[in-house]
Amino acid sequence: MDEEYDVEFIEREERSAKFLVRGVTPAFANGIRRAMIADVPTLAIDEVRFIENSSVMFDEQIALRLGLVPLSTPPNEFDEDDVVTLSLDVSGPATAYSGDIVSSDEMVQPAEENVPIIDLKDGQRLELEADAVLSTGKDHAKHQGGVSVGYRHLQRVETVGDRGEFEDVDPEIYRGVIQEGDELVDTEEFDHDLTNRYPDQEVAVEDVEHAFVFSVETDGSMSVEELFTRAVESLDARAAELEDAVSL
């Protein structure tokens, strides 16, 4: 298949983006989606050593909460066996937040500073050390870099005639991105209802083949661009492995 790939950003922010990919097959689009969710590794706390915990919660409960704090994961800096040590020491009365976690590695920081871990009352104290490791979402959801990853077909909208003047108009709800001629329009612009955009016309809507609009949101451990690139890389790595194994 020598199809032309084309990527176009529709929305682009630090942690979320919407972009159109042309030229991919449904199988490939789904492979990328799945790889973004389950196969791109991120750092997350995997072992906690409690030095003092006089809070009202069990060590295990606090450990679980710590595991879910997203940590920034710089690309190509860590291997699966690497360990980053973090520590936390908060005395009550205070709330321990993810931002209180002190990292031994400047590159690895909590991606979110305002995740409450536990409220400590007067006299209570939490002191611990934690090890963060690199792993994939397949292993545990705390290692999932993509928190919301999906795609929809791009849809082509064409006017096919006028609507009868006294006809009852039912809403025509579409969510995603539509194509009008060469123009891409987010359905948000007309409240997802085509009858708002074409009040007097009949329209025909059809999926554009091999064109998918990805909506991706990350947990902050890496950018959307990073996540996508590494998901594609992981597919490539597996294809390379298969190619090697078969050619032997």
Partner 1 sequence: MELRVIENTEDELSIEIAGEDHTFMNVLKGTLLEAENVGAATYDMNPEQSGGQTEPILTIKTENGADPLEELEAAAAEIRSKTAALTDAFDDAAA
Partner 2 sequence: MSYKCSRCKRDVSLDGYGGVRCPYCGHRVLLKERSQDVKTVPVQ
For partner 1, the binding residue among 39, 46, 105, 219 (CB under 8 A) is 39
Q: Which is nearer to partner 2, 67 or 145 (CB)?
A: 67
Tell me the closest approach of the beta carbon of residue 78 to partner 2, in angstroms. 18
Q: Does 27 bind partner 1 (CB under 8 A)?
A: yes
Q: Which stretch binds partner 1 (CB under 8 A): 81-89, 95-103, 197-205, 224-232?
A: 224-232
54's tokens: 């006089």
Residue 177 interface partner, choices partner 1, partner 2, none, CB cut-off 5-8 Å depending on type: none
Contacts of residue 93, Cβ cutoff 8 Å, sequence gap at least 6: 120, 121, 122, 124
Report the SS3 class of residue 99: helix
The helix (run of H) or strand (run of E) holding residue 230 is helix 224-247
State the Cα–Cα distance between residues 136 and 141, nearest whole angstrom.
8
Tell me the closest approach of the beta carbon of residue 149 to partner 2, in angstroms. 23
Instruction: Kindly state the number of chain residues that form the binding site for partner 2, as judged by CB under 8 A.
Output: 18
State the Cα–Cα distance between residues 99 and 141, nearest whole angstrom.
21
Contacts of residue 178, Cβ cutoff 8 Å, sequence gap at least 6: 154, 155, 156, 157, 184, 185, 187, 194, 205
For residues 43 to 62, the per-residue mask of contacts with partner 2, x marking binding by CB under 8 A and - elsewhere, is: -xxxxxxxx-xx----xx--
Q: Does 142 bind partner 2 (CB under 8 A)?
A: yes
State the Cα–Cα distance between residues 210 and 171, nearest whole angstrom.
27
Q: Does 141 bind partner 1 (CB under 8 A)?
A: no
Q: Which residues bind partner 1 (CB under 8 A)?
A: 1, 5-9, 19, 21, 23-28, 30-31, 34-35, 38-39, 138, 225, 228-229, 232-233, 235-236, 238-243, 245-247
